[in-house]
């Protein structure tokens, strides 16, 4: 095939092929959250080989993040930012593909290698077709899977001078949805979630005389029962919530002669909106009558942990400590940003679908202000995200890049229109 533009946005077949090969290289060499430096090294080498100059690349933003800047910043021409996540998961590769992960127990089972390849295709296109108005910042973000990357990027001193208050757009591939269909939603797109750690401490004793100690077993089972009963309470405020106990442990394996002193329970809670998290907390406040009700505010999970933990732990004579991890607010899309995405998708010849309800999963993209997030269908036969057999569909690289380039084109056309 001759070297021709594959769309009016300037994306070429050569660029697509180069980024496909990069995707396979990234898949072979995945990096976990907070360990993405080798991945960033590969991205930088690829971009520089494609014509991106060193002074356009800003490394170590947010620890392991990378910002690539194109165009000239002008007051009358606002900037725009596109984001791709770059980290992998602690899951062993089982897909049986030529580019299978070479790192034991680490693999790209969420498709972040594909998201990165999409953004690199945008970058190489911008080398050949620089933005005519303002700046385009491409954000290669680490640590999405841990819910920390976006916050780390935004809090870095290098973020505001480059990105400032620019609108930011991101995508995620969606297995099960029609291939290359663009999924949008005005308002809440993806759910809020938070991870809850509860640790219980009692007093150890011989298993023959457990009454001389204080085992946390009853408090532990009571906490699990209380957590699993929360979804049925969601009917009180009309929207769904999910509680998933992800880990529970008591004592030490094979210690048959010991009545244990320690236990841990970990759970993930999800609601369709940040407001519903507050309502859920109010329900939890009534879960244990022995615990007095207090004012409910936005500090949802710490209050919730105190409700469940302090009531049940005290009732069984053990102490409780708790912590909150993997904090993901709900992703709330701006309707104007969604309209821009939909117009870009149609201009790229892709179908669009507006979702009736938010996704149950969460995304730390929600920590960016002025963020608009959309889905890109990975096909009805694609295995689910985090599945052992999942692999990002290579054909999405071109489609995703065209949508981002179309968003840029739509924004620049708006800038040219007379007021």
For 174-201, how does the pLDDT look when each residue is reduced to its tens digit (9 = 90+)?
A: 999 999 999 999 999 999 887 778 889 9
pLDDT value of position 321? 79
Q: What is the pTM for the complete model shown? A: 0.86
pLDDT value of position 242? 79
Question: pLDDT at residue 109 above 90?
Answer: yes
Question: pLDDT at residue 294 above 80?
Answer: no
Per-residue pLDDT, averaged over 85-108, amounts to 95
Per-residue pLDDT, averaged over 403-417, amounts to 86
With beta carbons less than 8 A apart as the criterion, state whether 140 and 66 touch. Answer: yes
The residue whose two tokens read 């519903």 is 276
Confidence label for 323 from pLDDT (cuts 50, 70 and 90): confident
pLDDT value of position 138? 98
For 200-213, how does the pLDDT look when each residue is reduced to its tens digit (9 = 90+)?
A: 999 999 999 999 99
Of 373 and 198, which is predicted with more confidence? 373
CA dist 176 and 381 (Å) reads: 6
Share of the chain above pLDDT 70, in %: 85
Question: pLDDT at residue 35 above 60?
Answer: yes
pLDDT value of position 8? 52
Question: pLDDT at residue 79 above 90?
Answer: yes
pLDDT value of position 302? 43
For 249-281, how does the pLDDT look when each residue is reduced to its tens digit (9 = 90+)?
A: 999 999 999 999 999 999 887 888 888 876 665
**Average pLDDT score, the chain:** 87
Per-residue pLDDT, averaged over 218-238, amounts to 72
pLDDT value of position 297? 35
pLDDT value of position 275? 82
> Nearest to residue 401, comparing CAs of 126, 205, 217?
126
pLDDT value of position 9? 81
pLDDT value of position 274? 83
Question: pLDDT at residue 97 above 50?
Answer: yes
Question: pLDDT at residue 282 above 70?
Answer: no
pLDDT value of position 95? 74
- Most confident residue range from 38-42, 73-77, 216-220: 38-42
pLDDT value of position 291? 32
pLDDT value of position 295? 32
Range with lowest mean pLDDT among 90-94, 270-274, 343-347: 270-274
Question: pLDDT at residue 224 above 50?
Answer: yes
Question: pLDDT at residue 419 above 90?
Answer: no
pLDDT value of position 412? 86
The sign of the dihedral angle between the CA atoms of 302, 371, 364, 351 is: positive
Per-residue pLDDT, averaged over 312-329, amounts to 79
pLDDT value of position 293? 31
Confidence label for 403 from pLDDT (cuts 50, 70 and 90): very high
Residue-range domains of the chain with CATH: 13-188+331-416 (3.40.630.10), 192-328 (3.30.70.360)
């Amino acid at each position: 095939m001759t070297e021709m533009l594959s769309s009016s946005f300037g994306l070429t077949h050569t660029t697509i092929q180069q980024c496909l090969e990069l995707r396979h290289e990234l898949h072979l060499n995945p990096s976990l959250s907070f360990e993405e430096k080798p991945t960033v090294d590969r991205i930088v080498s690829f971009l520089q080989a494609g014509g991106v100059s060193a002074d356009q690349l800003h490394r170590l933003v947010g620890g392991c993040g990378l910002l690539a800047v194109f165009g000239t910043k002008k007051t009358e021409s606002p900037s725009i930012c596109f984001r791709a996540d770059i980290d992998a998961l602690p899951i062993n590769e089982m897909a049986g593909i030529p580019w299978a992960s070479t790192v034991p127990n680490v693999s790209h089972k969420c498709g972040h290698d594909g998201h990165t390849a999409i953004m690199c295709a945008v970058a190489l296109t911008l080398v050949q077709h620089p933005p005519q108005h303002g700046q385009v910042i491409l954000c290669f973000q680490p640590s999405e899977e841990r819910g920390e990357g976006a916050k780390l990027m935004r809090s870095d001193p290098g973020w505001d001078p480059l990105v400032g208050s620019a609108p930011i757009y991101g995508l995620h591939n969606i297995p099960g949805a029609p291939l290359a269909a663009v999924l949008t939603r005005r308002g809440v797109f993806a759910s809020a979630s938070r991870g809850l750690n509860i640790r219980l401490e009692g007093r150890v004793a011989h298993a023959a005389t457990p009454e001389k100690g204080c085992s946390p077993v009853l408090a532990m089972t009571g906490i699990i029962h209380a957590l699993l009963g929360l979804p049925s309470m969601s009917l009180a405020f009309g929207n769904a919530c999910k509680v998933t106990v992800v880990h529970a442990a008591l004592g030490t394996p094979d210690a048959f002669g010991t009545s244990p002193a320690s236990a841990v329970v970990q759970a993930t809670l999800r609601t369709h909106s940040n407001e519903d998290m507050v309502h859920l907390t109010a329900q939890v406040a009534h879960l244990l009558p022995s615990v007095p009700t207090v004012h409910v505010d936005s500090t949802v999970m710490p209050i919730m942990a105190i409700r469940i933990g302090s009531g049940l732990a005290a009732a069984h004579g053990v102490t409780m400590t708790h912590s909150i991890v993997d904090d993901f607010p709900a992703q709330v899309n701006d309707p104007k940003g969604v309209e821009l995405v939909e117009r870009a998708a149609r201009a790229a010849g892709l179908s669009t679908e507006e979702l009736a309800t938010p996704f149950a999963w969460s995304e730390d993209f929600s920590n960016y202000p002025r963020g608009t997030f959309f889905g890109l269908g990975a096909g009805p036969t694609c295995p689910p995200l985090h599945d052992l057999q999942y692999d990002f569909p290579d054909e999405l690289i071109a489609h995703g890049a065209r949508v981002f380039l179309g968003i840029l084109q739509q924004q620049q056309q708006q800038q040219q229109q007379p007021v």
